[in-house]
Structure 1
């Protein structure tokens, strides 16, 4: 079984929006992927929550001897 490491969260914010909110997250992910950022979006009732993850910490998992 593969063990996954949780990515560090850099920030999160809940808000109300209407429309094609998922397109904003897709745009951010495509535009900023070279900066090791991943954006997630969840919907809880009528509120959206956007989460920004730092994927650079996934480059050197614990136990990796590279420095």
Structure 2
């Protein structure tokens, strides 16, 4: 969901809501969740997602970038 998450971050407005079924965005804070297992649905308030991601230390992003770079080589 990494590529899709990046696309949504670039294209959606601050007041958007995102709803997914079966597969959550693991690093996004959920607004709500209903069901369980394959029938689970997740809702995200985009303003909360963006504020949460801004709080992640930049060094963590560098570590993640380097880890992904080496894993695809």
Based on CA coordinates, which of the two structures has the bigger radius of gyration?
1
Instruction: State the TM-score, normalizing by the size of structure 2.
Output: 0.26
More helix by share: 2
Higher relative contact order (CA 8 A, sep 6+): 1
More strand by share: 1
